[in-house]
Structure 1
Amino acid sequence: MTMTTTTTETGFAQRLFDAYQTHQPLQMADFTAAVSDEDAAYRVQTQLTVFKDQPVGGYKVSLTSATTQQMFDTDAPLYGAQVADHFLAAPAKVRRGQLMEPLVEVELVFKAKEDLAASDSLTDLWHKTTVAPGLEVPDSRFADWFPDLPKNLVVADAAVGGLVVYGTERDTDQVFETVDAVATPKCSLEHAGKTVKTGQASEVLGNPLNSLHWLVAKLAAQGRTLTAGQRVSSGTFVLPPHLTAGHWQANFDQGLGSVALEVSAD
């Protein structure tokens, strides 16, 4: 994959960056011809990351369930690079005005304890990472984006990256006795003390470690490495509701604990 952007791709990345800064949404119909294929979409994302001029704290993986892949007319996941200050330790507080059209998801968040390689097996990844309960807040620079934004525009827009809130991080191989056990956690998502969604880790490509494995291989194919200290929001257990003001909390079993996000209305 060539990483040299065309003039059109660079211009599109600039428009995304402007929307990212101003919170003035783009209209998806204006950009249907802005990316020719997935490779072009990743080039736009790369340029958008350059414009942000911040360290990459990690990645989010999207479209990790059959349901979401069908919604976005694809048969594979996609990823988005996330700047470091968009990963927040729980409990976190944000203003609704910091975001545009956010959703909320429950995920496992892995952190690399050392650089990860495409040759790593699931067992290697189990040993080389920590895991934490997570709430991800997808957000887009496009108006009325969910669930109608074309897949390549999702890719270009950093996989509609918003925020990732993570809880207590522990060695993955200490939390889970086996690789297969990583598929077993269940979670309830609460808003204002009421359960709004329930889900389980097996929704994420059968096992969230499969999502991490996919990402490491995808990055390697693009000449990139997931490096020590970077985090990965590995895919949602649930079809996400819209994020509104109030107290959000995800409660996980398997000893993972809870993670909380307070959203103020201003």
Structure 2
Amino acid sequence: MTTMTTTETETTFAQQLFEALQTQHALNATDFATTVSDEDAAYRVQDHLTTLKNAPVGGYKVSLTSAETQQMFATDHPLYGAQVQDHFLAAPAKVRLNQLMAPLVEVELVFKAKAPLSATDSLTDLWHKTTVAPGLELPDSRFADWFPSLAKNLVVADAAVGGLVVYGEEQDTDQRFASVDAVATVNCELTHDGETLKTGNASEVLGNPLNSLHWLVGKLAAQGRVLTAGQRVSSGTFVLPPYLTAGHWQANFDQQLGQVELDVTND
């Protein structure tokens, strides 16, 4: 099991991240280049940051789930970030741009556990034990000029650059999809003010978004954690994300998943 006891340096770093979140004053990544020694230390910082938020954990986001994004951040595996409950928003949602610092827009499937998920669960078990919804994730960072060059361990420490997750109608995964493999066949279209910006496919997410969920459950178990009933997981982006701007954002999904709508204002 990974140790989650923080050092004084890690605790101080978490406090600085929390203050940046509260004040929206971005940190300079170069000032923290040697602050976290490895990925385990980065997760310890994230864990303390989550404690400082003093709010229930509503679920998790999984990042770096495609070969392209892993290459950008010089890693060969995903990362996760704990997300507090009020950062999961039911669609249609409204967000002020100044709620966030330097957000992007990602198109994802959002799973919700109907029962506690175990590291021994197979993909078929996860298919039966979850609901699925179309989603828009708004990743954000407490570091200036973070995308796409922020060091991997700083991404982890910063709650995997967690921002907000907007989710649409939730349906039983095993009712929406005829099989585990079918989850990988979902296509999406991301539009802004009616203009198509991106299209993507669920297979970009570790070959199948259920693989992302499976990875997360195993990673949490290695840290002595369990993904509990009611918690949601934003499982990884279908597309390389554009920056969030004011206007009407919509993600349209096939496979009868529906759409997610988000209005972003400047005030």
* TM bin (shorter chain): over 0.9
Pairwise CA distance, 1:2 = 1.1
Q: 1:251 is matched with which residue?
A: 252
Q: 1:21 is matched with which residue?
A: 22
- Are 1:175 and 2:173 counterparts? no
| In structure 2, C-alpha distance between the alignment counterparts of 1:134 and 1:140, rounded to whole Å | 19
Pairwise CA distance, 1:212 = 0.1
Q: 2:99 is matched with which residue?
A: 98
Pairwise CA distance, 1:89 = 0.1
Q: Report SS of the residue matched to 1:3.
A: coil
Q: 1:120 is matched with which residue?
A: 121
| In structure 2, C-alpha distance between the alignment counterparts of 1:75 and 1:45, rounded to whole Å | 20
Shift >6 Å, 4+ stretches? none
1:110-147 deviation per Cα after TM superposition (whole angstroms, max 9, x unaligned):
00000000000000000000000000000000000000
Q: 1:7 is matched with which residue?
A: 8
Q: TM-score if structure 1 supplies the norm length? A: 1.00
Output the amino acid matched with 1:122.
L
Q: Report SS of the residue matched to 2:101.
A: coil
Pairwise CA distance, 1:60 = 0.1
| In structure 1, C-alpha distance between the alignment counterparts of 2:185 and 2:86, rounded to whole Å | 30
Q: 2:65 is matched with which residue?
A: 64
1:12-64 deviation per Cα after TM superposition (whole angstroms, max 9, x unaligned):
00000000101000000000111000000000000000000000000000000
| In structure 2, C-alpha distance between the alignment counterparts of 1:34 and 1:231, rounded to whole Å | 30
| In structure 1, C-alpha distance between the alignment counterparts of 2:254 and 2:35, rounded to whole Å | 43
Output the amino acid matched with 1:61.
V
| In structure 2, C-alpha distance between the alignment counterparts of 1:33 and 1:74, rounded to whole Å | 17
Output the amino acid matched with 1:179.
V
Output the amino acid matched with 2:204.
E
Q: 1:141 is matched with which residue?
A: 142
Question: Structure 2 stretches of 5 or more lacking a match?
Answer: none
Q: Report SS of the residue matched to 1:159.
A: coil
Output the amino acid matched with 1:126.
W
1:83-117 deviation per Cα after TM superposition (whole angstroms, max 9, x unaligned):
00000000000100000000000000000000000
Let me know the Cα RMSD of the aligned residues.
Answer: 0.3
| In structure 1, C-alpha distance between the alignment counterparts of 2:206 and 2:260, rounded to whole Å | 22
Q: Report SS of the residue matched to 2:27.
A: coil
Q: 2:162 is matched with which residue?
A: 161
1:231-254 deviation per Cα after TM superposition (whole angstroms, max 9, x unaligned):
000000000000000000000000
Output the amino acid matched with 2:129.
K
Q: 2:89 is matched with which residue?
A: 88
Pairwise CA distance, 1:3 = 0.7
Q: 1:184 is matched with which residue?
A: 185
Q: 2:36 is matched with which residue?
A: 35
| In structure 2, C-alpha distance between the alignment counterparts of 1:30 and 1:51, rounded to whole Å | 22
The percent of aligned pairs where both chains have the same amino acid is 79
Pairwise CA distance, 1:265 = 1.0
Output the amino acid matched with 1:220.
A
Q: Report SS of the residue matched to 1:8.
A: helix
| In structure 2, C-alpha distance between the alignment counterparts of 1:102 and 1:77, rounded to whole Å | 20
| In structure 1, C-alpha distance between the alignment counterparts of 2:26 and 2:116, rounded to whole Å | 36
| In structure 1, C-alpha distance between the alignment counterparts of 2:34 and 2:9, rounded to whole Å | 10
Q: Report SS of the residue matched to 2:262.
A: strand
| In structure 1, C-alpha distance between the alignment counterparts of 2:260 and 2:113, rounded to whole Å | 20
Question: Structure 1 stretches of 5 or more lacking a match?
Answer: none
